[in-house]
A = this chain, B = another copy of it.
Amino acid sequence: MEDNTPPFNSIFSIDCLVFGYEAGELKILLIERSEDPFKDWYALPGYIVQQEESLDHAAERTIFELTGLRDLPMKQFHTFGDVDRHPKGRVITVGYYALIRINAQKELRSISSMARKALWHPVKTLPKLAFDHSDIFHTGFAKIRRRLTHQPIAFDLLPEKFTLTQLQGLYEAILDKKLDKRNFRKKMLSYGYLKELVEKQRGVSYRAAKLYKFDRRKYAKIFQNEMGPSAAQQ
């Protein structure tokens, strides 16, 4: 790692875990760094927080600039402040996560001059990341896994209309274990916030499955007290 830029004093930044789900796999958005330190390494997309900008805003801006998506429910999960986490100076970073629908059509933009490109990478086979980004990933992913059981965050990853089997596949990908089909369906439907559509799956060479929608309105009514991150945005 060569480095000839001058050192700096304290700054803060945000780093984002952006999860997506594609081809039955859970993926995360990474950038490939084009500058030292950690030139050519993969890293989490991150940004320095600007003087007149809240943390939440910085996180949303990062996602927007990478994916073109606005108003995503970004959630803070932990702040990393070890003295030596950045070789060039003191950087305290706030970890955020978002769960989004991958839009295969839309091209990813590089987030800054530091990044050669951005890409979706399966979480199952993540390489070592720059800085302490591997730690950040593990901390955040563990949090999401715990949250999944209590809050309806999975729907942010799926297309608007989905089958119960797709939903189950997603749960299995996040929790990394097989679930029982009958129990899973019973439980999901018992929550009462899935809306069954008349529309069915099309273009499959087997019995077409019913499609469902996540009904935010119903969810909010049912769980008025313990608001989930998805519900929080309305």
Which of A9, A10, A11: most chain B Cβ within 10 A?
A: A10
Interface class of chain A by DSSP: loop
- What's the minimum C-beta distance from A165 to chain B, rounded to whole angstroms? 29
Oligomeric state, in number of copies? 2
Q: Does A54 contact B (CB under 8 A)?
A: yes
**With contacts A9-B51, A12-B12 known, is A79 near B76, CB below 8 A?**
yes
Instruction: Tell me if A81 counts as interface (CB < 8 A to partner B).
Output: yes
Q: Does A40 contact B (CB under 8 A)?
A: no
Query: With the chains together, A209 CA to B11 CA distance in Å?
Result: 55
B82 in contact with A54 (CB, 8 Å): yes
0 or 1 for each of A1-34: is its CB under 8 Å from B? (1 = yes): 0000000011110000000000000000000000
Chain A interface residue count, Cβ-Cβ cutoff 8 angstroms: 20
Complex formed: what's the CA distance from A54 to B9 in Å?
14
Q: Is A124 an interface residue (CB 8 A)?
A: no
- CB < 8 Å: which of B49, B81, B90 contacts A81? B49
Interface flags for A146-184 (1: CB within 8 Å of B; 0: not) read: 000000000000000000000000000000000000000
Residue A44 interfacial (CB < 8 Å): no
A139, chain B: closest CB distance, angstroms = 11
Q: Are A51 and B10 within 8 A (Cβ)?
A: yes
In the complex, A52 has a CB within 8 A of chain B: yes
With a CB–CB cut-off of 8 A, which chain B residues contact A10? 10-12, 51
Task: Judge whether A79 and B82 touch: CB under 8 Å.
Answer: no
Complex CA gap A79/B92 in Å reads 11
Give me the 9 closest cross-chain CB pairs, A-B, nearest first.
Answer: A55-B81, A79-B79, A79-B94, A54-B82, A54-B83, A12-B92, A54-B81, A52-B83, A76-B79
What are 11 of the A-B contact pairs (CB < 8 Å)?
Answer: A10-B51, A49-B81, A49-B92, A52-B83, A53-B83, A54-B81, A76-B78, A76-B79, A79-B79, A81-B94, A92-B92
Q: Which residues of A contact B (CB under 8 A)?
A: 9-12, 49, 51-56, 76, 78-79, 81-83, 90, 92, 94
